A = this chain, B = another copy of it.
Amino acid sequence: MTKDTKTALLDAAERAVRSRGFDGFSYADLSEDVGIRKASIHYHFATKAELSAALMKRYREALQSACEEIERSSRTAAEQLSQIIEIYRLAMSEGDSLCLCVAFIGSRESLSPAAIDEITSFRKMVISVLTRIFEKGRADGSISSVQDPPKEAQAALSLMEGAQLSARAQEEPAVFDNALALLLGRLT
């Protein structure tokens, strides 16, 4: 049952960060969500900094697994890329949520070094996955007019993150799809 409470805390915290930012929720909120006393949260996560690092670590690991699975199972680069885009679309939910990484960056100054390290690792990982996909796309021809894979990767990540932000700002999930329409149009 220990594990369950800890997981429940991480789940609640993740929802909170993604919808309200790191400075936008408190232990009191988590307490209410999970159903244990505020003070008891400190048993599982001594400080909010520790919680944030754990949160980002879990997120990075989950995304890493998902990416590995995508790279392993998909035939073409176009398929791989559209699956990654799908992950970001789902993370956006109904336009009320952001990728955890995006949510954290806005509160960067409040984060512990450990959490920032996790963010750095996360981005390195995603960029390298995307770079491989664009390289593959240039080779297998499933993504049109690829010239510089690393720059394409950087642009694609920025675009997906920005599209989540836009969708949220305009309170309209379809905005995400509009923003990505051009990129998707390059896929075979």
Report how many residues on chain A are interfacial, defined by Cβ distance under 8 Å: 45
Q: Do the beta carbons of A154 and B178 come within 8 Å of each other? A: yes
A interface with B by C-beta (< 8 Å): 19-21, 23-24, 98, 101-103, 105-110, 119-120, 123, 147-148, 150-152, 154-155, 157-163, 165-166, 168-170, 175, 178-183, 185
* Nearest B residue (CB) for A174: B154
Q: Cβ of A182 and Cβ of B162 under 8 Å apart?
A: no
Contact of A158 with B179 in the complex, beta carbons under 8 Å: yes
Chain B residues in 8 Å Cβ range of A175: 154
> Nearest-CB distance from A36 to chain B (Å)?
23
Give CA–CA (A178, B123) in the complex, Å.
15
Contact partner, A120, options B20, B170, B178, Cβ 8 Å: B170
- Closest Cβ neighbor of A185 among chain B residues: B147
* A159–B183 alpha-carbon span in the complex (Å): 11
Check if B24 sits within 8 Å of A168, measured CB to CB: no
